[in-house]
Amino acid sequence: NQLIIDKSKCEAARTHLPSFDRNQLKHGIVHLSVGNFHRSHLAYYMDILASEHNQTDWGIVGIGVRSFDKPMSTVMKAQHGLYALVTKGADENDVNVRIISSLIDYIFAPDEPENALAVLLHPDTKIVSMTITESGYDLDMNNVDIQHDLKNSDKPKTVFGFIVHALDARRRANEKPFTVMSCDNVQQNGEVTKRCILQFAKGLNNPQLTEYIETQVTFPSAMVDRITPGTTDADREYVRSRCGIADGWPVITEPFVQWVIEDSFCNGRPPLELLSSSPYNVLLTEHVEAYECMKMRLLNASHTSMCYLGYLMGYTYIHEIMLDKQIEIYIEQLMNIEVTPTLPPVPGIDLENYKRTLIERFSNPHIKDTALRVCMDGASKFPKFLVPTIVEQLKRGNNPHFCALSVGAWIRYLGGYDEQNKPIVLQDALAVELKLSELAAKTKPGAKQILSISQIFATLGENPQFIEAVERVVQLLYEVGSKETLKRWIKEAP
Ligand code: NAD
């Protein structure tokens, strides 16, 4: 099961093989929930620092926190953390392959919680990073696992349990704390993470711990970017036949990568300024909000707007959706007319160029990002990606016509059947918990009840004009289908 490399094919495919001694790497970073994005982003950056800049303090130990991480655990353990990262540009000759070797160990916490805690307590660990998806921050103190973690400091089950109990142990041992670094698409992800950590810590009724976290731990906010789909068997076969690498879980991604992060690390950090130039695009700043806002309201909101409609139109991949001329018009109008006026100035960024690049990135046919991946967790994505724009536009007395289409398409999708009457399998923990599918099916084409869920839609359920617009979208989608709805909606734009 090890990563097996056929060197002659690797050379032909110009594969970058590890060029440093992994045994020299210390685990400066422990990453919770190792998914594909972590492996295309932070692990890639740390690999560059080790191989191109001889930085040996920033190896990574990955921890799989949930039982779902068992398959990743099996592969990463067998391959000693090594895997192939393949970047594919829009031009089919623009392919680069790199064996990433910064992930020096992997711990599957459900089987070995004591090992996970031990590495979190180790003085070499300076940063604990995480990618737990947008929904991971919807902390529910009544959740059984959270309740378990409040009572069991030696065998946590959740990310928050591990982090807080480890911080407490470091406090008691007079050890420096670690920086807690979120790499998820959540606006002010540092602040949001800090709130979750403090909320959990308060449940332990330990004022010294709370004070320690409040005063000594830092939570840098960051904007992270690199479109990274899930891995398919076709990707495994591609890596095997074209690059000569037998890899159980390679990562395919786009060439573009970006990381804008607050320079706020309580126990040291990698020399990220070494990665400031293109193609790495790392920026250390005191003011990350404008970049986060730009990325979430343009990139993530566009993704969230096109995926449900595109899925209903019968498309499988994001690039197919984007190549539909009507969708391109819709996304451009959404970005230009509704989102851009709500954005603060973003230092050093030409917004027109940024938006053009987004359309090109969405259209990349080689990374094969699926609509279904982007459709996941809509209930956690709408409040972060689209609702702020809608609220802002309504406050200004404007009609967010295209945002209404995005919301209506999601509500139609929640109805549970596509336009061929095939069931849609909803991958959305919060939507399931809130029984949104049942609600969408029961109230169709009404949208008021769903829009009144303030956890998702803030105050939008109190705005009759917006409710009416969304209900018209849902009604049209049921009556005339997605293609015709889109055509009419573009024609009716104010
Ligand atoms: P993935 O499915 O490959 O991995 C997700 C990981 O998160 C898994 O280890 C899973 O077990 C874990 N997880 C899910 N819910 C969790 C929870 N509630 N608590 C703890 N762990 C949880 O997904 P990915 O592509 O790595 O994306 C993960 C996140 O990274 C995204 O949700 C997003 O916030 C951020 N991100 C992804 C991309 C991308 O293009 N994939 C780009 C930018 C940012």
Q: Using DSSP, how many helices (H) and how many strands (E) does the chain show?
A: 24, 14
pLDDT of residue 256: 97
| Atom 18, ligand 1: residue with shortest CA distance | 136
Top mutation candidate among 37, 41, 42 for ligand 1, by most atoms within 8 Å of CB: 37
> Which structure tokens are listed for 182?
């979120």
295 and 259 share a domain? no
Query: Cα–Cα distance between 108 and 71 in angstroms, integer?
Result: 10
Q: Flag whether pLDDT at 4 surpasses 90.
A: no
319 and 439 share a domain? yes
> Which CA distances in Å does 391 have to 270, 399, 446?
38, 10, 20
279 and 316 share a domain? no
Distance 42 CA to ligand 1 centre (A): 13
| Cβ-count burial 72-107 (b if 16+ within 10 Å, e if not) | bbbbbeebebbbbbbbbbeeeeebebbbbbbbbbbb
Number of domains in the chain: 2
Instruction: Determine the average pLDDT of the residues in 261-272.
Output: 98
Question: 356 lies in which domain range?
Answer: 289-491
Phi-psi region of 368 (alpha: psi -120 to 50; beta: other; left: phi over 0): left
Query: Cα–Cα distance between 15 and 97 in angstroms, integer?
Result: 5
| DSSP β-ladder status, 60-64 and 245-246 | unpaired
pLDDT in tens, 180-208: 999 999 999 999 999 999 999 999 999 99
245 and 311 share a domain? no
Q: Flag whether pLDDT at 342 surpasses 90.
A: yes
Query: What backbone phi and psi angles, to 5 degrees, belong to 478?
Result: -70, -35
Tell whether ligand 1 has an atom less than 6 A from the beta carbon of residue 66: yes
Residues written for the chain? 494
254 and 391 share a domain? no
Whether 381 and 134 have beta carbons less than 8 Å apart is answered as yes
| Atom 10, ligand 1: residue with shortest CA distance | 33
**What is the CATH classification number for the domain harbouring 189?**
3.40.50.720
Q: How far is CA 106 from the centre of its chain?
A: 20
Q: Which residues does 13 contact at the CB level (< 8 Å), separation at least 6? A: 95, 97, 242, 243, 244
Tell whether ligand 1 has an atom less than 6 A from the beta carbon of residue 131: yes
- E strands in 217-310: 222-225, 245-246, 251-253, 258-262, 282-285
246 and 200 share a domain? yes
Q: Which residue among 265, 285, 305 closes a domain? A: 285
pLDDT in tens, 358-415: 999 999 999 999 999 999 999 999 999 999 999 999 999 999 999 999 999 999 999 9
Q: Which residue among 269, 285, 301 closes a domain? A: 285
- E strands in 140-257: 179-182, 222-225, 245-246, 251-253
**What is the CATH classification number for the domain harbouring 414?**
1.10.1040.10
Closest approach atom of ligand 1 to CA 69: 11
345 and 462 share a domain? yes
Q: Flag whether pLDDT at 338 surpasses 70.
A: yes
What whole-number percentage of the chain has pLDDT above 70?
Answer: 100
Query: Cα–Cα distance between 217 and 57 in angstroms, integer?
Result: 20
Rounded to a whole number of angstroms, the CA Rg of the chain reads: 23
pLDDT of residue 1: 61
Whether 40 and 86 have beta carbons less than 8 Å apart is answered as no
Distance 37 CA to ligand 1 centre (A): 7
- Whether complex ipTM tops 0.95: yes
Instruction: Determine the average pLDDT of the residues in 340-357.
Output: 95
pLDDT of residue 11: 79
Q: Flag whether pLDDT at 10 surpasses 90.
A: no
| Atom 13, ligand 1: residue with shortest CA distance | 132
Distance 169 CA to ligand 1 centre (A): 27
Q: Flag whether pLDDT at 12 surpasses 80.
A: no
Closest approach atom of ligand 1 to CA 133: 32
> Which CA distances in Å does 70 have to 30, 43, 77, 234, 444?
18, 20, 10, 21, 39
Q: Which residue among 263, 285, 307 closes a domain? A: 285
CA distance between the termini of the chain:
58
Q: Flag whether pLDDT at 164 surpasses 70.
A: yes
Using H for helix, E for strand and C for coil, what is the string for 410-445?
Answer: HHHHHCCECCCCCECCCCCHHHHHCCHHHHHHHHCC
| Atom 43, ligand 1: residue with shortest CA distance | 225
pLDDT of residue 28: 98
170 and 302 share a domain? no
Distance 443 CA to ligand 1 centre (A): 32
**Tokens 């095997």 sit on residue:** 240
Query: What backbone phi and psi angles, to 5 degrees, belong to 260?
Result: -115, 120
456 and 398 share a domain? yes
pLDDT of residue 100: 97
Residue 335's Cβ-count burial label (10 Å; 0-12, 13-18, 19+) is buried
364 and 426 share a domain? yes
Whether 289 and 191 have beta carbons less than 8 Å apart is answered as no
50 and 194 share a domain? yes
228 and 330 share a domain? no
Q: Flag whether pLDDT at 314 surpasses 90.
A: yes
Long-range contacts (CB closer than 8 Å, 24 or more residues apart) made by 438-443: 439/414, 440/411, 440/412, 440/414, 440/415, 440/416, 441/415, 441/416
Distance 134 CA to ligand 1 centre (A): 8
Top mutation candidate among 32, 75, 87, 132 for ligand 1, by most atoms within 8 Å of CB: 132
pLDDT in tens, 69-97: 999 999 999 999 999 999 999 999 999 99
pLDDT in tens, 27-73: 999 999 999 999 999 999 999 999 999 999 999 999 999 999 999 99
Query: Cα–Cα distance between 132 and 172 in angstroms, integer?
Result: 27
> Which structure tokens are listed for 178?
């670690």
In 3D space, the residue among 105, 135, 242, 122 whose CA is nearest the CA of residue 176 turns out to be 122
> Which CA distances in Å does 179 have to 27, 35, 164, 429?
14, 20, 12, 28
> Which CA distances in Å does 328 have to 152, 321, 400?
51, 8, 17
3-class DSSP state for residue 7? Answer: helix
Instruction: Determine the average pLDDT of the residues in 271-286.
Output: 96
pLDDT in tens, 117-143: 999 999 999 999 999 998 899 899 999
